[in-house]
Structure 1
Amino acid sequence: MATDGMILTNHDHQIRVGVLTVSDSCFRNLAEDRSGINLKDLVHDPSLLGGTISAYKIVPDEIDEIKETLIDWCDEKELNLILTTGGTGFAPRDVTPEATKEVIEREAPGMSLAMLVGSLKVTPLGMLSRPVCGIRGKTLIINLPGSKKGSQECFQFILPALPHAIDLLREAVVKVKEVPNELEDLPSPPPPPSPLPTSSPHRQTEDKGVQCEEEEEEKKDSGVASTEDSSSSHITAASIAAKVTLFSCNNDTFIHHYTLRLQSKCLEVYDFNKHPSFVSQIPDSIISRGVQVLPRDTASLSTTPSESPRAQATSRLSTASCPTPKVQSRCSSKENILRASHSAVDITKVARRHRMSPFPLTSMDKAFITVLEMTAVLGTEIINYRDGMGRVLAQDVYAKDNLPPFPASVKDGYAVRAADGPGDRFIIGESQAGEQVRKEKISFEKSTFKCEENDPYVCFQPTHTVMPGQVMRVTTGAPIPCGADAVVQVEDTELLRESEDGTEELEVRILVQARPGQDIRPIGHDIKRGECVLSKGTHMGPSEIGLLATVGVTEVEVQKFPVVAVMSTGNELLNPEDDLHPGKIRDSNRSTLLATIQEHGYPTINLGIVGDNPDDLLNALNEGISRADVIITSGGVSMGEKDYLKQVLDIDLHAQIHFGRVFMKPGLPTTFATLDMDGSRKLIFALPGNPVSAVVTCNLFVIPALRKMQGILDPRPTIIKARLSCDVKLDPRPEYHRCILTWHHQEPLPWAQSTGYTSIVIISIIVVIIITEVLLN
C-alpha cells in the first residue's frame, strides 16, 4: 500500500479483466449485447484502462449462474477486475447485486457511491440503480447498469481510481514518486456535469507532439490517433442520433435552445432570451455533453507544466524562447507594451526548442468555460434607435404616449350607439385615419371613451357628436367620435340613400345588434404611457427597432459592441489579389474570419498578413491591442520552428495563456490568452492555420465570447439533435463537422450530412453543424 505523500505511476503488469453481461434477452439471442461489447472496447483502450479481456460471457438473470461465473473468474481465472452489466434495477429479475453480495468478501461502497452521485448529476432516474462493488480475494467486482450509455458513464466515474485499486489488490511492485509540495493543496477536479459520449473511443498511438496545423494536423498531433486507425470503430447512421451545434447566418438562430427527443417523437423548444430564468438550467458543458477522457499523462487538465508528466519530462529543455503556461494573472501597462518594437524571443537556439508541447491538453468543456469566465461585458453607449440592430439594451425602455392615443376603429364601417340597435340611421359625416381632428380636452361626462383625469395629453376626436339615430362613417384606425361606443363593419350594413352626385352616403341600415366596445381599440389598448415596452438585456432585432419607433424613443442606451482585429501569420501567405509564386499560397483565413465576425454585426480591423518573425508579430499584436478589444490570429501556434506566436504572447506581452491545446478535432493547437492592461482586458484567440480548424474554432470560442462581451444573456450556441446520414468513424476527441441539415416529411429529427474537411467546401457552405457526440437509440 502506498504511503502518504506518494502517488502510483504506470502498472508493471497488464490488468486482466472479465466482462459479464447479465440479460435474459441477450442470453436467448433476442437482443445484441451492446453494453458488454462497448465495455470490452473501453477496457482495451490504452487512453483509458489499457487492460486485456481475459473472459467474456453472457448469462441469464439467474442468481446461481451469476454466482458460479463470478466465483470461477475470481478463484480459478484469478482476474484482476470483473465488470458486470445489467440486472441492477428494480425489475423482479434484476438480481445481479444480490448475487454479487453473496460472492464478495469485502464491500467497496465508495465506488458504488461515486457511480450513484455521478448518475444523479445526469438524470434523477439514477437513483433507481442498485450497484454493488466489492472484493473477492484479489479480484475487484463492479456492477454497472445494463444500458450502453449508463454502463459507460459509470465506468468513467470510477475509472480514475481503478488502476490504483487493482495495484493495491494484487500487491504489485509499483514505482512511486513524491508528490510535489505545490500540488498537495490543489483542488480536486470537479465532477462530470453531464453524460458521457456513448461512442467507443479509438485506440491511441504514442504521443508524438503536434507536427503541423495544415491538412495532416489531425493525423500527427499529440496524444491522438489518426482517424484512419484500423482499430477505429464505426457507428451505423441508421441507428444513431447525433447531438449537433447549429450556427446560421441568421442571428435569430442563436436566440433559441432546442431539445429534440427521438424516443418520444416530440420536440421541446425553449426560448432562453425570453425566459432568462431558464438559462441557469442549461448545463455548462454545452459543447461536449459528456466528460472527455484524455490520455493519462494529461488527464488532470492542469494549466501548469509541473502538473503534466510530459511537460515535466521536457522542462529541462526549456529556454527563454519556449513559453510555459501561466496560472497567475498578469497586469501590464499599455505604455510599456506599446513602446516595445523588438521582441525578446530568442530565435537562434533552434536545437533547444520543445519537441513536445509544454501545454497540457485541455478538455473542450473546460476550454469553453474558461473563455466565458475570462470574458467581461463591455460598457454602455447611447445610440440612435436606427443603429440598434443586434445590440443589447442596457436600460429598460418606457413608452412616452398611449397607443392608440385616441379610441380607434378596428374596421371600416360605421361608428354607432350600441343602444340604438339595428335599424335605419342618418350619416352625419366621416372620420378617416390621419385626418386633422379636434384637439381638446373632452368632457368626462360627454365622452364615451374617457381620457385619464390627470393626463397632460389631450384626446383626439372628431368635432361631431353622434346622437341617437345617427352614425358616422369610419375607416380602420380612425378616431371614434363622441357619443359612439361601437363600430359595425360595412359588410353588416345596407345603403338606403345617397347624394344626387353619389359622392356622399346619407342614410344606412344597420343589420346587426352591436355591443358596447365592439371593434374599438380604447386609449392605451396596445401600450400605456409609462409602460415598460423593452427590458434591459433585450437583444434587439427588427421588431424591437420598430417598437422603439412606435413609442417615440429615438435614443437608447446599449452595451458596446466589441471591436475585433484579425490577422493571418505565415511567410508563405499572399494577398488574394496577388499572383502565386513557388512556395506561396493565398491567404483565405483572414477573409473567412473577418466575414464570420462581420456576419454577426461586430466592427472589425484588418491587420493584414504578418510574417513568421517575432518583431513583426509583436508590432502587429501591439497595433491590435491598441485599437481592438479582441485580437484573432491564425497560424503560428503549433510545433514548427517558426511558430513564435505563443512565445511572443508570453515573453513580450506578458499575457496569461489559459490554454495552448484543446482536446478537439479539428483545432487541437487552439490557444487562448488574456492581457489585463490599464483597467481593461484584451482577449487574444490564436487559432490554428488550417482553414477548417480556424473557422470551426472561431465559431466555437470567439463568437460566444463576443456575444457575452456585448451583453447577450446566454452566449452559447444553439444545440439540436440530428440523425447522421452516413456512417462515421469515431475519434477519441470531440469531433466537429460542417454539415447540411435536411428535414424529411413526418420525421421529428433532421438528417445531418457531413461535408468533410475540404477547405473549399467549408468556406462556401452557409450553415455550420458541429457534431459533438453520438447517442444510440
Structure 2
Amino acid sequence: MSRIRVAVLTVSDTASATSTADKSGPAIREILSQSGAFSCNDHLIVADDIQSIQTAVKDWCNRGDVDWIITTGGTGFGVRDQTPEAISPLLEREAPGIVHLMLSASLKYTPMAALSRPIAGTIKHTLVVTLPGSVKAVKENMDALISGGVVNHAIELIRGGTGKQVHEALAAGGSGSQATLPATSHHHHHHHHDHQIPQPRTLSHDPSAAASARHRVSPYPLISLEDALDLVQKNTTTLGVKKRLVTHELSGHVLAEDVYAPQNVPPTSTTSVDGYALRSTDPAGIYKVLTSQNHSVGTPLPAGSIYRINTGGPLPAGTDTVIMVEDTHLVSTFKDANGVDGEEKEVECLVQVPARENVRSPGSDVKRGDLVLQKGDILLSEGGEIGTLAFVGRKEVEVYKRPVVALLSTGNELLDLQNPQPHSGDDWGGIWDTNRPSLQATLQGMGYDVLDLGIVPDDITSHVNAIRKGLDAADILLTTGGTSMGPTDLLKPVIERHFQGTIHFGRVTVKPGKPTTFATIPCAGGAAKPIFALPGNPASALVTFNIFVVPALRKLGGWPEARCHLPRVSVKLGSTMNLDPRTEFHRVVIYADVDGLKAFSTGGQRSSRVASLSGANGFVVLPMRSAERSRLEVGTTAKAVIIGEILMM
C-alpha cells in the first residue's frame, strides 16, 4: 500500500495567536515521520471555533488527496472545547471502535482520560480522528492507532481495498501486532494500484432479522440543514415538458417556452371609452346614430352619421376619433307601435373631438412578436399570467409537468379516521392518522394531484407493495413514520434492500425532524424518483414537509432554483424563544403592523403537538445554542419561513 497522506489540524485559541504555543501538532508530525509509512504535507492551526474547524476539514476532504485527518485539541469539557461538535455533523460513517481504542489506551495511564470526548469516522474517502491537546495523550493515542496496524488497515479499506493480506496475516500469526502484518511500502505513490471502485453501501439493518439485531446507534451521519437542502436540490430532477390548453387548469405550472404575441393587441383601432365614433373634422351638431345592427365596421361611415361604440370595440372605417357619452345629448328616438321610446335616432355632439381622442391604436398594448412571458415564469393562481396568455391569443403552451405525489402513512398503531381498522392485533385502540389528511390538504391546496396509498402496516411485504405502487403511478413518494430506530421502522431497509435505492441523508440537525430521510429509487426508463420519509410526529411531519419536500416538488415542476424554497423574511420576536443544539423551526403567527412584521409563538413546540401548527403562518429559524447565547429575547430580529398568509394586527 502506498504511503498514507496525513493532514494535522491543531485546534487552540492560544496557538492560533502564537504558533510557537503548538506542541501537540509537531509531536504528531514527528511520530508520523519516524514511522515512515506516512507523509504529512498539511498542518494548520485554527481557533476553537466550529466554523474554522469545519472549513479546514471540508477543504481537505474535498481535495481528495488526504487519507487521514488528525485533529488535536478541543476534545475536553472546557467552555471553548468544540472539536467533537464541529466534526460530528460531517461524519458519514462513525468509527466507535477507534474511539474505544484511544480511550482504553489513555485510561491505562490516567483516569482523567475519561474526561476526553474523542470521535472518529470517515468523510468521503478520508479517515478523521480527534485527539486531545496534551502531548502526553497524543503520544498514547498515536501509539495505539499505529502500532497495531489499525490505521493502515482502515485506510486500505477506505481506499476500496479488500484487506485480504491483513486478514491472512492475522489468521496466520494470531496477533494484531505490527510484526505479523504485511510490510508497508515506504515509496510514495499518488495512486493505490489495487484500488477498487466503492460499491453502494447498505447501512440499514436487516429487517428480516430479530429485533435484537437492529442498530443501537444510527448508521446514518447527522448532517446540517444546509447540506441536507443541497442534497435535495442535487438529487431531484425536473420532469419533462408537455403541451397544455390555456385554461384555468394551467395554474401552478411553469412555462417551458418563451411566449411571443402572435398578433397585435388590439388588432385594429379600438375605443377606450363608451361613446360614438366619428371623424375629427365633424363639428359639434346633431347626427344620425348608427350601430353594429345596421352598419358594418368595414364600410365607411356616411356623412352626417356617428357610430355608437362600447369600450374595446373597433372603430368603423372612415372614423378616427371617439366622443364620450358625457359630451352628447339625446335629441330623438325611434318609437314602437305604442309610441314608446326605443333606439336612439339622433344625438347632438356638444363638442368637436380631436383626432385619436379616446382611441387605442393597433398594437398599442402588445405588438406582434413581442415577448410577453418567459420560460421559467410561474403561472400563478392569481391569474395574471394565464390572463396574459389569453389576452395575446395563445390557445396552448408548453409547460413542465407538475408532479403527482404518492402519500402514505406507516404504523400498526394508526387508525384511519373514516375507516378505523386496526393492524396492531391487540386490544389497544390505536391513534388517529393525523399526517395523511393534513399533508393531503396541504398538497392539494398547492395544486398537486395526490395518490392516497393509505396506512401501511409494519411488515416488509406491505411496505414493498405500497412503494412499488407509488413508483408506478407518481413522480415523488411521501411517507410519514418508520424513520427512527424501532425494530419495525422499515422504510430505510426496504428502500435500500428491496429497491436498490440510495439514502442521501437519514438524520438532520433540525428540530423538529431529526430522523427526516431523503432517498432516490432508480426507475426503468427515467431518472431516479425521490422519496421523503418524514417523522411520524405530526408537527415534525408538517415542518419538514415545508422545509424539505416543497423545494423538491418545485424543482420537479420546473420552478427556477431561486424560487424553490419558501420565502424567508425578517421578523421581530413577540415571544422569548429558547435555543436548542439543533437548528429549530419554531412555529409562530406572523402579524404585520406599521413597524413591520412581528412573530408570536404558538405555544408548546413538542413535535407531537400538532396544535402548535394550528393558525401558524410561519417558522422562526432559531440558530443552534452556543455558550454565548441560549435564547432569543422579545424584540430580537430573526429570520422566518413564510408558510401562509400574513395577518394584520
Report the TM-score, using the length of structure 1 for normalisation: 0.54
Aligned counterparts of 1:611 and 1:617: Cα–Cα separation in 2: 7
Shift of the 201–643 alpha-carbon distance from structure 1 to 2, 3 Å rule, reads: farther
Aligned counterparts of 1:633 and 1:105: Cα–Cα separation in 2: 52
1:516 and 2:355 are equivalent in the alignment? yes
Residue number in structure 2 paired with 1:769: 619
Aligned counterparts of 1:162 and 1:396: Cα–Cα separation in 2: 45
Unmatched segments (≥5 aa) in structure 2: 23-44, 70-78, 89-116, 132-149, 155-196, 624-631, 638-649
Among 530, 552, 577, which residue is 1:728 paired with? 577
Among 219, 223, 235, which residue is 1:362 paired with? 223
Residue number in structure 1 paired with 2:508: 662
Residue number in structure 2 paired with 1:77: none
Shift of the 184–699 alpha-carbon distance from structure 1 to 2, 3 Å rule, reads: same
Shift of the 685–202 alpha-carbon distance from structure 1 to 2, 3 Å rule, reads: farther
1:393 and 2:232 are equivalent in the alignment? no
- Asked if the contact 1:201/1:731 (under 8 Å) is kept, the reply is no
- Asked if the contact 1:303/1:659 (under 8 Å) is kept, the reply is no
Residue number in structure 2 paired with 1:534: 373
Residue number in structure 1 paired with 2:406: 565
User: 1:350 Cα deviation (Å)?
Assistant: 3.5
SS at 2:585's partner residue?
A: coil
SS at 1:623's partner residue?
A: helix
Pairing 1:735-746 to 2, within 5 Å after superposition: 735-744=584-593, 746=594
Aligned counterparts of 2:315 and 2:385: Cα–Cα separation in 1: 29
Aligned counterparts of 1:362 and 1:636: Cα–Cα separation in 2: 19
1:480 and 2:315 are equivalent in the alignment? yes
1:642 and 2:642 are equivalent in the alignment? no
Among 417, 439, 454, which residue is 2:279 paired with? 417
Residue number in structure 1 paired with 2:598: 750
One-letter amino acid of the counterpart of residue 315, structure 2: I
Residue number in structure 1 paired with 2:416: 575
Aligned counterparts of 2:263 and 2:522: Cα–Cα separation in 1: 45
- Asked if the contact 2:409/2:480 (under 8 Å) is kept, the reply is yes
**Relative contact order: is structure 1 or structure 2 higher (C-alpha 8 Å, sep ≥ 6)?**
1
Aligned counterparts of 2:535 and 2:556: Cα–Cα separation in 1: 23
1:372 and 2:254 are equivalent in the alignment? no
Pairing 1:81-230 to 2, within 5 Å after superposition: 157-159=51-53, 184=66
Shift of the 160–621 alpha-carbon distance from structure 1 to 2, 3 Å rule, reads: closer
Aligned counterparts of 2:214 and 2:126: Cα–Cα separation in 1: 15
- Asked if the contact 1:737/1:756 (under 8 Å) is kept, the reply is no
Aligned counterparts of 1:688 and 1:301: Cα–Cα separation in 2: 26
Compute the RMSD of aligned alpha carbons: 4.5
Residues 163-186 of structure 1: per-residue CA shift (max 9 Å, x gap):
9xxxxxxxxxxxxxxx9x987269
Shift of the 561–161 alpha-carbon distance from structure 1 to 2, 3 Å rule, reads: closer
Shift of the 389–524 alpha-carbon distance from structure 1 to 2, 3 Å rule, reads: same
Aligned counterparts of 1:406 and 1:533: Cα–Cα separation in 2: 19
SS at 1:375's partner residue?
A: coil
Residue number in structure 2 paired with 1:218: none
SS at 1:597's partner residue?
A: helix
SS at 2:510's partner residue?
A: coil
- Asked if the contact 2:7/2:68 (under 8 Å) is kept, the reply is no
Residues 264-294 of structure 1: per-residue CA shift (max 9 Å, x gap):
xxxxxxxxxxxxxxxxxxxxxxxxxxxxxxx
Aligned counterparts of 1:362 and 1:642: Cα–Cα separation in 2: 24
Among 468, 484, 487, which residue is 1:622 paired with? 468
1:544 and 2:385 are equivalent in the alignment? yes
Number of matched pairs: 482
Residue number in structure 1 paired with 2:433: 587
Shift of the 463–350 alpha-carbon distance from structure 1 to 2, 3 Å rule, reads: same
One-letter amino acid of the counterpart of residue 6, structure 2: G
Residue number in structure 1 paired with 2:171: none
Aligned counterparts of 2:447 and 2:417: Cα–Cα separation in 1: 24
One-letter amino acid of the counterpart of residue 409, structure 2: S
SS at 2:507's partner residue?
A: coil
Aligned counterparts of 2:119 and 2:506: Cα–Cα separation in 1: 13
- Asked if the contact 2:67/2:126 (under 8 Å) is kept, the reply is no
Residue number in structure 1 paired with 2:291: 431
Residue number in structure 2 paired with 1:698: 545
User: 1:463 Cα deviation (Å)?
Assistant: 3.1
- Asked if the contact 2:574/2:598 (under 8 Å) is kept, the reply is no
Unmatched segments (≥5 aa) in structure 1: 18-79, 84-103, 109-139, 143-153, 164-178, 188-199, 210-295, 316-326, 332-342, 439-460
One-letter amino acid of the counterpart of residue 559, structure 1: Y
Aligned counterparts of 1:762 and 1:201: Cα–Cα separation in 2: 35
Aligned counterparts of 2:409 and 2:198: Cα–Cα separation in 1: 29
User: 1:530 Cα deviation (Å)?
Assistant: 4.4
User: 1:499 Cα deviation (Å)?
Assistant: 5.9
Aligned counterparts of 1:437 and 1:709: Cα–Cα separation in 2: 55
1:683 and 2:530 are equivalent in the alignment? yes
- Asked if the contact 1:330/1:655 (under 8 Å) is kept, the reply is no
Residue number in structure 2 paired with 1:263: none
One-letter amino acid of the counterpart of residue 473, structure 1: R
- Asked if the contact 1:565/1:632 (under 8 Å) is kept, the reply is yes
Residue number in structure 2 paired with 1:718: 567
Shift of the 183–593 alpha-carbon distance from structure 1 to 2, 3 Å rule, reads: farther
User: 1:519 Cα deviation (Å)?
Assistant: 0.7
User: 1:701 Cα deviation (Å)?
Assistant: 1.0
Report the TM-score, using the length of structure 2 for normalisation: 0.64
Shift of the 499–594 alpha-carbon distance from structure 1 to 2, 3 Å rule, reads: closer
One-letter amino acid of the counterpart of residue 464, structure 2: L
Pairing 1:60-99 to 2, within 5 Å after superposition: 80=14
Aligned counterparts of 1:201 and 1:517: Cα–Cα separation in 2: 78
Aligned counterparts of 1:590 and 1:373: Cα–Cα separation in 2: 27
Shift of the 353–431 alpha-carbon distance from structure 1 to 2, 3 Å rule, reads: same
SS at 2:508's partner residue?
A: coil
Aligned counterparts of 2:580 and 2:205: Cα–Cα separation in 1: 39
Aligned counterparts of 1:186 and 1:682: Cα–Cα separation in 2: 35
One-letter amino acid of the counterpart of residue 527, structure 1: V
Q: Which moved more, 1:641-650 or 1:497-506?
A: 497-506
One-letter amino acid of the counterpart of residue 643, structure 1: D
Shift of the 402–82 alpha-carbon distance from structure 1 to 2, 3 Å rule, reads: closer
Shift of the 309–611 alpha-carbon distance from structure 1 to 2, 3 Å rule, reads: farther
Aligned counterparts of 1:408 and 1:298: Cα–Cα separation in 2: 78
- Asked if the contact 1:462/1:479 (under 8 Å) is kept, the reply is no
User: 1:368 Cα deviation (Å)?
Assistant: 0.4
Residues 140-166 of structure 1: per-residue CA shift (max 9 Å, x gap):
998xxxxxxxxxxx9555455999xxx
Aligned counterparts of 2:510 and 2:387: Cα–Cα separation in 1: 42
Shift of the 768–406 alpha-carbon distance from structure 1 to 2, 3 Å rule, reads: same
Pairing 1:396-407 to 2, within 5 Å after superposition: 396-407=258-269
Residue number in structure 1 paired with 2:134: none
User: 1:590 Cα deviation (Å)?
Assistant: 1.8
Shift of the 670–518 alpha-carbon distance from structure 1 to 2, 3 Å rule, reads: same
- Sequence identity of aligned pairs in percent? 36
